[in-house]
Amino acid sequence: MNEQSVFPEDLPDRARVVHAAQAGGPEVLVATESALPEPGPHQVLVETAAVGVNFIETYQRSGVYPTQYPFTPGTEASGRVLAVGEAVESLSPGQRVTTMEADTGTYASHFLVDAGKAMPVPDEVTDEQAAALPLQGITAHYLMNSTYRVSPGETVLTHAGAGGVGQLLTQLLKAKGARVITTCSTEEKAQIAQAAGADYVLGYENFADRVREITKGEGVAAVFDGVGRDTYLGSLDSLAIRGTFVLFGGASGQVPPLDPQDLNRRGGLYLTRPATHWYLRNAEERSWRYAELFDSLTKGDLKLSIGAAYPLDEAGRAHDDLENRRTTGKLVLTA
């Protein structure tokens, strides 16, 4: 690829974009048209095929998280490269790609992304799968391979086993040979967690006592906790001596400050609070994680649960269904 921008002659003039002019409920998401974005140096222009919908976007839309309006949600999507900016050598027009790190909102017919953050999609992977995988898949991958490197035969505890990250994490852990204990809030969710391969599915009440029973008093090597405030004490009580508490979210609220001596008293425990951007620091790390996820997907070790697909113009309905828990699995928009 040369150092000049590559623009096909048949590019459209306009893009379809969903945005919120102000904070509010799902009804503030409105489809409109805008000028087609133009890739700058190191960027590519992607024609959107499918968009991953994530809960953080409901917080941004509603104003819970500070956001500048008008606001176009989304960072996760798949599609086909239409044009490349200067100095792009890794991608060419026509290639299928996916990303969770778009530079412009992906609730749109076209979006821009840094070429180094757009990953080629294997032919065996559908557009919807490619849009549904990155954010939750990368999270599951770094948790078990980098934050705490799980070894075959180890027993670990994951919370919210029926959730998006929980299902993927359980499947990847089982493929690695780990024993998985997970928690769920309802019988329906317990069945989903069991289908993902969990060895034990517990309710949240007194789960630490049950973990101790299952492990014959030893505790687990690591806890992967995205729930936070409501589970952290039980998570600590579930750990073996020198176990690792991986706190990667706060769905129930943030964990209050911890006294380091409490970690000492409980057995010299380790505590870490990771975030995705610390685990996608360069091209090699990004390529490794995506390659292993795609490999697991194509081999059948990993199955994605796509709960529903909505037309791009119905993004508001997708948000409404997500906030009111009317669906299970990942939601996607199709452009």
- Specify if 35 maps to a domain: yes
In terms of Cα–Cα distance, which of 35, 174, 10 is closest to 108?
Answer: 35
Residue 246's pLDDT band, with cuts at 50, 70 and 90, is: very high
| Domain co-membership, 59 together with 81 | yes
| Domain co-membership, 201 together with 146 | yes
| Domain co-membership, 145 together with 250 | yes
- Specify if 8 maps to a domain: no
* pLDDT over threshold 70, residue 264: yes
SS3 sequence of 215-236:
CCCCCEEEEEECCCCCCHHHHH
CATH (domain of 322): 3.90.180.10
Tens-digit pLDDT profile for residues 107-151: 999 999 999 999 999 999 999 999 999 999 999 999 999 999 999
The Cβ of residue 55 has, within 10 Å, a number of other Cβ atoms equal to: 12
φ, ψ of residue 246 in degrees (nearest 5):
-100, 105
- Specify if 199 maps to a domain: yes
Residue 3's pLDDT band, with cuts at 50, 70 and 90, is: very low
Range of the domain at 71: 14-133+304-334
What whole-number distance in Å separates Cα of residue 93 and Cα of residue 223?
43
Residue 4's pLDDT band, with cuts at 50, 70 and 90, is: low
- Specify if 109 maps to a domain: yes
| Domain co-membership, 226 together with 309 | no
- Specify if 292 maps to a domain: no
| Domain co-membership, 164 together with 108 | no
Give the model's pLDDT for residue 283.
93
φ, ψ of residue 278 in degrees (nearest 5):
-75, -10
What whole-number distance in Å separates Cα of residue 126 and Cα of residue 303?
12
Number of domains in the chain: 2
Tens-digit pLDDT profile for residues 16-62: 999 999 999 999 999 999 999 999 999 999 999 999 999 999 999 99
- Specify if 98 maps to a domain: yes
Reported pTM: 0.92
CATH (domain of 153): 3.40.50.720
- Specify if 290 maps to a domain: no
Tens-digit pLDDT profile for residues 205-222: 999 999 999 999 999 999
- Specify if 288 maps to a domain: no
| Domain co-membership, 119 together with 249 | no
- Tell which wins on pLDDT, 276 or 9: 276
| Domain co-membership, 228 together with 329 | no
Helix axes 134-142, 283-299, angle to 10 degrees: 100
